[in-house]
Chains A and B, each alone.
Chain A
Amino acid sequence: MANRIVDEEARKQIGTVGEARTYDVERGAIRRFAEAIGDPNPLFNDEQQARKTRFGGMIAPPTFCRSLGSPIPNVKLNMPAAFRGLDGGSDWEYFQPIRPGDRITVQSKLADLREAEGRLGPMVFMVIETSYTNQFGELCATQRSTAIRY
């Protein structure tokens, strides 16, 4: 069956990059994020205890980057205005810890665009790759997430 929404023209948008955004990482934001998950790990909560570890201070928990949002690339799809959205999942890679005081630049890119026939009609899978880079130009983490629209 020919794709109804993700056609040749739509797929030309793969590789489109969204606007970059830069965040100052606050200690309190890290602690509140860990607290929301209910994660008592001293590395994410307690500067005094974290100082005694090999990290020399607090670091952010692995999914903290979810609080550092970036505009997703402006992708044009031939869909009804009132579509529904679902989060399909995420693949993370971690290279460097994120610490209080870091300036993290976040940028997203449309990595893939697919279509499948769902129970409620066509479903579009948008794969978004996001990079998180610190003030030293070091890549801290990447997230590849799948957004489903139907």
Chain B
Amino acid sequence: MARQLYFEDVEPGFEIGPLEKDPTTQQLVKYAGASGDFYQIHYDKDFAIANKLPGVILHGALKNGFLGQLMTDFAGEHGWLRKLSVQYRGMDVPGVRIVCKGRVVKKRVENGQHLVDCEIWLENAKGEKTTPGTATVALPSRGASH
């Protein structure tokens, strides 16, 4: 497991990631099978083009999964991802690298929980944030037994 981060280790501005992903059409088929989302725009190029798309596109939920990975890596074994929100603003296509990143925005203690609010996003090769979002993670504290 990766090194555990503690509440005291992060401050607003702390950078999360990057987590790089190189999605392929094969990955889209694997995700379709694993999730049960068989909408053809994710694996049938002719169908996608007939629906005015440039070709097959990534499942929004797969990008949600990538950002989930970014945040469970950040939380570590002793942290807990409390909230995860994503908005699909732009399309991503297989064959183009995408990068998941995040930044700590705020730290707070609530009901004894050490919470870290973050902004997160997935960006494409042009640096466009196709999938912005937010997350809240409870981190262990050095000052408290957990």
Contact = CB atoms under 8 A, between A and B. Distances in A.
A51 B62 CA distance: 27
A100 to B, nearest CB: 15
Given A38-B27, A61-B72, A63-B68, A33 B35 contact: yes
Contacts, number: 101
A87 B68 CA distance: 17
B119 interface: no
Contacts of A117: none
A91 B120 CA distance: 13
- The interface centre, meaning the residue of A38, A41, A61 with most chain B CB atoms within 10 A of its CB, is A38
B65 to A, nearest CB: 4
Nearest to A148: B88
B140 to A, nearest CB: 10
Interface string B26-45: 01001101111101000000
A41 B72 contact: yes
B33 A41 contact: no
Contacts of A41: 69, 72-73
A87 B88 contact: yes
Contacts of A86: 88
B36 A89 contact: no
Interface in A7-60: 29, 32-33, 35-39, 41-43, 49, 53-55
Contacts of A63: 61, 64-65, 68, 84
B72 A90 contact: no
Nearest to B131: A89
Contact of A89 (B33, B62, B69, B87): B87
Contacts of B66: 37-38
A54 B78 contact: yes
Contacts of A39: 65, 68-69, 72
Interface of B: 1, 21, 27, 30-31, 33-37, 39, 51, 59-62, 64-66, 68-69, 71-73, 77-78, 80-88, 133
Given A36-B30, A43-B72, A92-B83, 13 more contacts: A32-B30, A36-B34, A37-B31, A39-B69, A62-B68, A62-B72, A66-B37, A86-B88, A89-B60, A90-B61, A90-B84, A94-B82, A94-B84
Interface of A: 29, 32-33, 35-39, 41-43, 49, 53-55, 61-63, 66-67, 69, 84-94
